[in-house]
A and B are shown apart, each in its own frame.
Chain A
Amino acid sequence: MFIYIIRRLNVFVITLFLLSVVAFLLQRQVITDFVNTGNILSDYQRYILAMLSGNFGTSLASGNPVLTDILAIFPATLELCLMAFVVSILIGIPCGIFAGLSRGGAVDYGIMTITLMGVSVPAFWFAMLLMMFFSLHLGWFPVSGRIGLLYDIPVITGFNLIDTLLSTKPYKYEAFFDSLLHLALPTLVLATIPTTEVIRQVRASIGEEMDKNYIKAAQAKGLNTFQIIKRHGLRNALPPVIPSLGLQFGRVLTTAMITETVFSWPGIGPWMVNSIYLEDHSAIQGGMLFIAAFVLLANMATDLLHLLIDPLKRNELYGKS
């Protein structure tokens, strides 16, 4: 187990190293903060030391250190992504189970058709449709932004849902619901992709597990279908789905940038787009490294989670190492 974690960390460090090399070479083309001495190796050494100490350079647009800017903005994106994942799990797992159990039936076809539509619809177009219908036509949800302008909530964690509840303002519950309303549409748009993925994986996984012999044995014990799924089906079908959720994180972050731009969500997406317009190279580079590192971290975390949950996976580990 310990060796596996070390090995996984190793991959993480190497990938980060390669990324930093790419970022460094890009930066050498447009000298900003660092003096180019002509010697690549000593330049890289200086560069990597600065990166490791958290010095991503200074943003040309804001004049702040890039890391400060990112840390101020990133929680908004993270909040959106995490909500999207929560929604996709809440919707995806039950739908996947129903589809997997009624393989080839009407329910299965219905769910899979909707899933296919979800995969094919472009995020920005879907976002605009939702916005037009629910926000402009029906007026149920706000059009854009993170929270109503009326509420003044001090930043503590950067997550609005938590900050509103932590604050001591008299209108904190109103503020909480207002930020929930603001979250609803972007979350829905962002959740489509991971939801379809969860549905497909769970469907395949549960369909496969329900044919196995131990399910027959459980039937012979006299358990009913609900008990069998609860006690034996899910615990075997769900763990293999976890690592693929981690892989989805990268895709969700990229979609988040589009979604954020459409909904004027003050996250890392519009910030990056803006930096590109302004040719703010240290901000682009810092943002890229930060997002890449975060996606890698998420992948590693889901892999380890899978390892903790699934005894079969652990067994594989001993077999190999």
Chain B
Amino acid sequence: MAILDIRNLTIELNTSQGRVKAVERVNLTLTEGEIQGLVGESGSGKSLVAKAILGIKKDGWVVRADRMRLGDIDLLTLTPSERRRLMANDIAMIFQEPSSHLDPTQEIAEQIEEAIPSNTFEGGFWQRFQWRKKRAVTLLHKVGIKDPISVLRSYPHELSEGVCQKIMIAMAIAKKPRLLIADEPTTAMESTTQIQILKLLHKLNKVNNTSILFISHDIESVSNLSDTLTVMYCGQTVESGTRDQVINHPRHPYTNALLKAVPDFESNLAHKSHLYALPGSIPPLQHLPIGCRLGPRCPNAQKTCVQKPHSTRVKGHMFNCHFPLSIEDETSS
């Protein structure tokens, strides 16, 4: 069953240059107990999608969708307070820029204890006084913090970005959510702890059946962990499907370019050879191309690309392109 089902999500931002469609008709489906990777360059609207799911809006954002469901709950019809209650129990998010998402004047201990819901309590009433503290310590242990006691007594500005990120993860997994949105959860960490955190997320997924929406700009690291992948470019979904479909048989030129951009150090890469990249750069939000937004940079673009492509679906593999790459193309190149 789909735990998260989003159809045609559009997010418009009011800027000084007028209203801009930062995210245009994005579709996302997460089945229960699945890890889905959401891949795209920075500025492609991944974090906006995550915030729209949580219902955290800033002034001047207009969020519209044809359908937005969490399990059997329709998120669009909920009042803000009902939505908060839902978030308290079912959804957790690991934010980007972790240190700014921690209250600067509050000790870590209080902040973690605040994130531990009282319905997770187990044990006798005499343990009530201590259990939150103990739970906070175990949570910090879980995310790989070596001296939890001293970290608990610190303020966020006294800790490094990596430790703050681990604290955010600890707070997110504290309530054992049904859906975990991880927005670049391992960016500020050294690579050994990155693997540790990825393993932790994987374990969470297997043991608690937590569905995870894993947002990242790095298609390689995401593809190791996730069952399905969705690729975004400039606020549009370009391709989505199972890991095998997207990684091994990409149908969209952008996905193909992303995969080619990962340098393959195992094959003999010629000395000083060119690394592959698409020509041009991501257009700014004020000057988005019409139709398929990849158009001006796409190697296969033709006249029809000024119209938005319809999504094609083949065995659960969805792609939005007028001229999809065929598998023969992929093998010959």
- Which A residues contact B (CB, under 8 angstroms)? 211-214, 216-224, 231-232, 235-236, 239, 310-312, 315
Contact = CB atoms under 8 A, between A and B. Distances in A.
B81 interface: yes
Interface in B71-96: 81, 84-89, 91-93, 95
B157 interface: yes
Contacts of B81: 224
A220 B102 contact: no
Given A222-B84, A223-B84, A224-B81, A217 B102 contact: yes
B105 A217 contact: no
Contacts of B58: 211
A51 B157 CA distance: 46
A236 B103 contact: yes
B155 interface: yes
Contacts of A312: 104-105, 155, 157
A102 to B, nearest CB: 12
What does DSSP make chain B's interface, helix, strand, loop or mixed? helix
A216 B54 CA distance: 10
A173 B45 CA distance: 67
B5 interface: no
A1 to B, nearest CB: 15
B269 interface: no
Given A220-B54, A311-B155, A315-B157, A235 B106 contact: yes
A214 B104 contact: yes
A218 B103 contact: yes
Residue of A220, A311, A315 with most chain B CB atoms under a 10 A cut-off: A220
B97 A213 contact: yes
Nearest to A236: B105
B87 A214 contact: no
Given A212-B100, A315-B157, A221 B114 contact: yes
A213 B95 contact: yes
Contacts of A211: 58
B188 interface: no
Contact of B105 (A213, A219, A222, A311): A311
B143 interface: no
Nearest to A214: B103
B306 interface: no
Contacts of A214: 100-104
A223 B116 CA distance: 12
Given A216-B56, A222-B87, A223-B84, 11 more contacts: A213-B101, A214-B103, A218-B103, A220-B56, A220-B87, A221-B87, A221-B88, A222-B88, A223-B88, A236-B104, A315-B155
Contacts of B49: none
Nearest to A103: B59
**Those 5 A-B pairs whose CB atoms lie nearest each other, nearest first:** A222-B88, A217-B101, A213-B100, A214-B103, A213-B101
Given A221-B171, A231-B114, A235-B106, A216 B101 contact: yes
Residue of A221, A239, A311 with most chain B CB atoms under a 10 A cut-off: A221
A283 to B, nearest CB: 46
B95 A217 contact: yes
